[in-house]
């Protein structure tokens, strides 16, 4: 027992408190929400390759400073991005879930991760659409495409502007997206005028050769109080 504790690096022995062991034991309740945008068993090799590729761009402090990329975590409620959000989310509509994160089965719904480049005001979402998102046989539903576009542009807008809402979204569906195929969603800020931010977005195949969808959107920064009736 004593030896086992020693191996763990604990300062224990007769008359001594296992201080290191106590310091190491994790508090059972974490204030950090679960990040859903990390690899799971449903991710294809291509999805993992792209995740590794973009993660490498934001791996180190130096690279972040030079390249400006970072992975934006994805929780199951947007509220959890606020300070103390994990606790707030138990008080405000406790059963509510982010639309893109409400399918529990890995790989069945929206599998995605968003990488942001705040300096360049751009983002890339890597997205693997699951079988519960079907529209035309074997292909992604247009509403699901709108959803992932809204979430991707909305994440970039939120990261740059703070609280904001989609005022307008225009989508041109150019070619269908097969379920399970990994696609890239490139978003950028075109223009900012006061509270208005105009964005554009393209969905392509993961090798960039095929254009699936093009979209533009308008986001307006808002006072969060308005959402809560202030």
Could you give the residue numbers annotated as active site?
A: 150
- Which CB sits closer to ligand MFK, 10 or 116? 116
| Pairing, β 183-193 against β 164-173 | unpaired
CB 86 → ligand MFK: shortest distance, Å? 14
- Which CB sits closer to ligand MFK, 123 or 151? 151
Binding flag, residue 166, ligand MFK (CB under 6 A): yes
Evaluate whether 120 touches 108 at the Cβ level (below 8 Å): no
Evaluate whether 112 touches 124 at the Cβ level (below 8 Å): no
Q: Which of 107, 129, 130, 154 is in the footprint of ligand MFK by CB under 6 A?
A: 154
Compose the 87-126 pattern: x for residues touching ligand MFK by CB under 6 A, - for all others. Answer: ----------------------------------------
Binding flag, residue 58, ligand MFK (CB under 6 A): no
Quick one: which of 161, 154, 158 has its CA closest to 185? 154
CB 97 → ligand MFK: shortest distance, Å? 12
Evaluate whether 18 touches 5 at the Cβ level (below 8 Å): yes
Binding flag, residue 151, ligand MFK (CB under 6 A): yes
Evaluate whether 149 touches 112 at the Cβ level (below 8 Å): no
Evaluate whether 75 touches 101 at the Cβ level (below 8 Å): yes
Q: Which range binds ligand MFK by CB under 6 A, 41-49, 63-71, 177-185, 216-224?
A: 216-224
Instruction: Mention every residue, 6+ apart, whose C-beta is less than 8 A from residue 122.
Output: 116, 156, 186, 187, 188, 189
Q: Which of 48, 97, 196, 210 is in the footprint of ligand MFK by CB under 6 A?
A: 196
Q: How many residues bind ligand MFK (CB under 6 A)?
A: 15
Q: Which of 101, 107, 150, 213 is in the footprint of ligand MFK by CB under 6 A?
A: 150
Q: Which of 11, 21, 82, 165 is in the footprint of ligand MFK by CB under 6 A?
A: 165
Quick one: which of 140, 129, 160, 149 has its CA closest to 200? 149
CB 17 → ligand MFK: shortest distance, Å? 43
Evaluate whether 14 touches 1 at the Cβ level (below 8 Å): no
Evaluate whether 113 touches 36 at the Cβ level (below 8 Å): no
Q: Map residue 198 onto helix, strand or coil.
A: strand
CB 32 → ligand MFK: shortest distance, Å? 15
Residues that bind ligand MFK (CB under 6 A): 78, 81, 150-151, 154-155, 158, 165-168, 196, 218, 220, 222
């Amino acid at each position: 027992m004593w030896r086992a504790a020693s191996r763990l690096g604990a300062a224990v022995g007769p008359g001594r408190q296992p201080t290191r062991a106590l310091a190491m034991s994790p508090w059972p309740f974490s204030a950090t929400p679960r990040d859903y945008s990390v690899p799971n068993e449903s991710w294809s090799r291509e999805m993992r390759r792209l995740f590794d590729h973009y993660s490498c761009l934001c791996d180190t402090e130096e690279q972040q400073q030079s390249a400006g990329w970072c992975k934006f975590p994805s929780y199951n409620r947007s509220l959890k991005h606020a300070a103390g959000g994990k606790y707030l989310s138990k008080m405000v509509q406790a059963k509510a879930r982010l639309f893109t994160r409400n399918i529990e089965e890995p790989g069945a719904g929206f599998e995605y991760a968003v990488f942001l480049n705040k300096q360049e005001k751009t983002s890339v979402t890597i997205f693997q659409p699951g079988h519960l998102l079907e529209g035309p046989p074997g292909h992604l539903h247009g509403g699901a495409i709108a959803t992932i576009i809204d979430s991707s542009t909305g994440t970039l807008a939120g990261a740059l502007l703070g609280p904001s809402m989609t005022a307008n979204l225009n989508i041109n569906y150019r070619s269908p997206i097969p379920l399970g195929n990994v696609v890239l969603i490139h978003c950028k800020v075109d223009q900012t005028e006061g509270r208005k931010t105009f964005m554009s977005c393209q969905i392509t195949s993961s090798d960039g050769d095929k254009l699936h969808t093009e979209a533009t959107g308008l986001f307006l920064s808002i006072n969060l109080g308005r959402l809560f009736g202030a």
